[in-house]
Amino acid sequence: MENRPLEYDYTIAKLWMFMTIVLGIVGMLIGVILAWELAFPSVNLIAGEGLAEFTNFSRLRPLHTDAVIFGFTVSGIMATWFYVGQRVLKVSMAESKFLMVTAKLQFALYLLAVVAIVGSLLLGITTSKEYAEFEWPIDILIVVIWVLFGIQIFGLIGIRREKSLYISVWYYIATFLGIAMLYLFNNMEVPTALLSGAGAWYHSVSMYAGTNDALVQWWYGHNAVAFGFTVPIVAMIYYFLPKESGQAVYSYKLSLLAFWGLMFVYLWAGGHHLLFSTVPDWMQTMGSVFSVVLILPSWGSAINMLLTMKGEWNQVATNPLIKFMVLASTFYMFSTLEGPIQAIKSVNALAHFTDWIVGHVHDGVLGWVSFMIIAALLHMAPRVYKREIYSKSLMNTQFWIQTLGVVLYFTSMWIAGITQGMMWRAHDEFGNLAYSFIDTVTVLHPYYTIRAVGGTLYFLGMFMWAWNMYKTATAGRRVEESELQSASPMAA
Amino acid sequence: MFHWLEKHPFFFAVAVFVTIAFAGLIENLPNFAEASQPTIGTKPYSTLELAGRHVYIKNSCNACHSQLIRPFKSETDRYGHYSLSGEYAYDRPFLWGSKRTGPDLMRVGNYRTTDWHENHMKDPAAIVPGSIMPAYRWMFKNLADIDTAYAEQVTVNKVFNVPYNKPIPMTDGGTATVKLAGSLDGAKADALAEAKLIAADMKDQDVKDMVANGQVPEIVALIAYLNSLK
């Protein structure tokens, strides 16, 4: 027993891997439908006039964002935690009955929440605050699920053998704390049926009004990106890239600097969503300035990762998983440069409310978040199922088709956004507005079509990924423990 | 210190929490301490308007339309006076939006009429050629939820002191009072009376018949809300 390597228990990780794939496909399918609806409004009637209420852009849009953030990404965070956590803390889930039971409970409640969320958003039960649309009963359910996640993290840490916490664990802890704090404060609401004895039982009204409500919402909204799309994904890359490439993390000091820098700076930046609004001016300036400062810790992690590949760049050509991760890091750098540029007041005056922002979100989420989650799960599959990855060439095809998809997406949205912003502000020689609003809509049609094509390509890649994962689990060649040290074994 | 923290998860977590909470405290607290006061002329929503606001929220109108006019010439030319903080004093939640796929609606009540909205919601592209807005025909059939609107009025009145049944100063020097009925039945009667005024300006015979029969379709409530945006 003493000399045998530790056997990790992947029961829970497998459940979340499955969930990640299913919700990734669902979330992106809805995204593709929305993209086509914007290019060709008749697609709103995709299921006929009778069901138009539920297939309409306005009902599907919150479902898309929530499915990708709380469905795909959060499932990916869970899947990787239940894999990475055990490995870097040198302890098996099977060693604690309590953790196994609470983890299963967490998953079961999550399923319940998914059903409740899909149902309620399609019915139009929403608080309208972006990424915080759920009414109070679902909010409470989510808090319970999140507390159970905290129990998982600190429970496993509590029984760990490796005394020092690896960098990835820092980021998982931060994810847990950050989301907990933000979610609680932004979702403070008063159920209306409680005090009046009338109306829908699930309806509530926000604790905050007007400008205050906006302030809390974007403090949350921006940092849901921080602690959902940045911090946990950095946790993943710090584990999976060194592991897959067989290289040690380039610099520990840089890791430290980037982590604590990110923790301190990120939260300030929420104010950049409120430039030129009725929020106090000094707050807008803080949001703007700290957004630019945010480049430093963000690039710190990204450069640390790229330098980890130093001397081993040949792996990019031979290993598609490294390709995914290196491109993810590159998109991270790119997206964390683009964000601060948009947060500069004069640029924001043009970019805000336009598709350029939509483009920014998607180069981040498709290029960085999704690529990293896809790569992480593909790295996990051979180790979880003890089989080699089913098809390397399918992975390569997926990589190129999705890369093309992202590029089409963000370039079309840049052009669309800047065009729209310029047309909104254009005046003729007499000082009158040069264009009516509808002029600024119809001109975007070609770009909306290109975006829909790009999104569809990316979506196709998701199917290739799902197929490859499925075949790996069921039909991949069995591998020995010795083949699993670094680079993932994969068929041709 | 960081090495020590990495071996002591509890203190590590505390340190992370303090670091991330810091910015929130500095940025949010001062503004909460002096919550914005309503500007003169800013009124709470009537029952029907609030029911319409719920229809607006239910269909995520804010996903495509902003309610925030920025202080630029191009925006004030297009939409009217730029937004003031106090104008949102009764907005729970705020509906500023983050994307303009369609135009801003902050002061749409100043330049669109009841029948314009009616036709537009039925077939947007017929009213604005080239529009990519989908039609919202189900709003002509579904009934507005007056009960929940009343529940919200009672709640904000009790919890946040929103001034119903009190004189509110208006820009012309006079005052106005927004009524909060003493009972649900009273609120329904008030909403129906207001709905009748809207329906009188509408063309759709089914909607007119519904209102005449004491029902309030969603479209009527929504138009009441949109007309109140000034």
One DSSP character per residue, A112-125 reads: HHHHHHHHHHHTT-
A199-246 confidence digits (pLDDT tens): 999 999 999 999 999 999 999 999 888 899 999 999 999 999 999 999
Strand partners, B167: B177
Interface contact flag, B138 A52, Cβ < 8 Å:
yes
Interface contact flag, B132 A38, Cβ < 8 Å:
yes
Residue A61 — pLDDT band, cuts 50, 70, 90? Answer: very high
Mean pLDDT, chain A, whole residue set: 94
Interface contact flag, B131 A441, Cβ < 8 Å:
yes
Backbone angles phi, psi at B39, to 5 degrees: -75, 160
Report the phi/psi class of residue A5: left, alpha or beta, with left for phi > 0 and alpha for psi in -120 to 50. beta
| Cα pseudo-dihedral A114, A120, A121, A126, rounded to 10 | -120
Between A37, A209, A270, which is nearest B92 by CB? A209
The residue written with tokens 């404060």 in the block is A185
pLDDT of residue B27: 80
A267-280 confidence digits (pLDDT tens): 888 889 999 999 88
pLDDT of residue A193: 94
Residues of B in contact with A286 (CB under 8 A): 27
State the ipTM, two decimals. 0.94
DSSP run (H or E) holding A204? strand A204-206
Report the predicted TM-score, pTM, of the whole model to 2 decimal places: 0.95
Length, in residues, of chain B: 230
Between A61, A198, A276, which is nearest B63 by CB? A61
Mean predicted confidence (pLDDT) in A102-125: 97
Residues of B in contact with A441 (CB under 8 A): 101-102, 130-132
Rounded to whole angstroms, how far apart are CA atoms A429 and A450?
34
| Cα pseudo-dihedral B207, B208, B213, B217, rounded to 10 | 30
Task: Establish, for the pair of chains A and B, how many residue pairs have beta carbons separated by less than 8 Å.
Answer: 260
Between B61, B83, B128, which is nearest A278 by CB? B83
Q: Percent of chain A, pLDDT > 70? A: 99
Interface contact flag, B184 A198, Cβ < 8 Å:
yes
Residues of B in contact with A217 (CB under 8 A): 93-94
Q: How far is B147 from chain A (nearest CA, A)?
A: 4
Interface contact flag, B64 A196, Cβ < 8 Å:
no
User: Which B-chain residues 200-219 have CB contacts (< 8 A) with chain A?
Assistant: none
Between A125, A185, A209, which is nearest B90 by CB? A209
Interface contact flag, B148 A200, Cβ < 8 Å:
yes
Q: How far is A175 from chain B (nearest CA, A)?
A: 10
Find which of A216, A353, A447 to mutate to test the B interface (most B CBs within 10 Å of its CB): A353
User: Which B-chain residues 75-114 have CB contacts (< 8 A) with chain A?
Assistant: 75, 77-78, 83-85, 87-103
pLDDT of residue A190: 95
Q: How far is A122 from chain B (nearest CA, A)?
A: 10
Spatial CA neighbour of A101 closest among A7, A12, A10 = A12
User: Which B-chain residues 121-160 have CB contacts (< 8 A) with chain A?
Assistant: 125, 128-138, 145, 147-152, 154-156, 158-160
| The pLDDT of residue A1 is above 50 | no
A18-51 confidence digits (pLDDT tens): 999 999 999 999 999 999 999 999 999 999 888 9
pLDDT of residue A271: 87
Interface contact flag, A213 B93, Cβ < 8 Å:
yes
Rounded to whole angstroms, how far apart are CA atoms B206 and B52?
19
Sites in chain B below the pLDDT cut of 70: none
The burial of A180, by beta-carbon neighbours within 10 Å (0-12 exposed, 13-18 middle, 19 or more buried), is given as: middle
Interface contact flag, B60 A58, Cβ < 8 Å:
yes
A124-142 confidence digits (pLDDT tens): 999 999 999 999 999 999 9
Chain A contact for B71 (CB, 8 A cutoff): yes
Q: How far is A260 from chain B (nearest CA, A)?
A: 8
Helix (H, G, I), strand (E, B) or coil at A133: coil
Between B30, B130, B148, which is nearest A199 by CB? B148
Question: Cβ distance A231 to A175 under 8 Å?
Answer: yes
CA B91 to chain centre: 6
Lowest mean pLDDT across A60-64, A431-435, A482-486, B209-213 = A482-486
Dmax over Cα atoms in chain B, in whole Å?
75
| Those residues with Cβ within 8 angstroms of residue A360's Cβ, 6 or more apart along the chain or in another chain | A335, A338, A339, A342, A410
Interface contact flag, B155 A357, Cβ < 8 Å:
no
| The pLDDT of residue A357 is above 90 | yes
The residue written with tokens 């017929």 in the block is B126
Backbone angles phi, psi at B177, to 5 degrees: -125, 130
DSSP run (H or E) holding B169? strand B167-169
| The pLDDT of residue A432 is above 50 | yes
Interface contact flag, B94 A213, Cβ < 8 Å:
yes
Interface contact flag, B94 A211, Cβ < 8 Å:
yes
Find which of A89, A176, A196 to mutate to test the B interface (most B CBs within 10 Å of its CB): A196
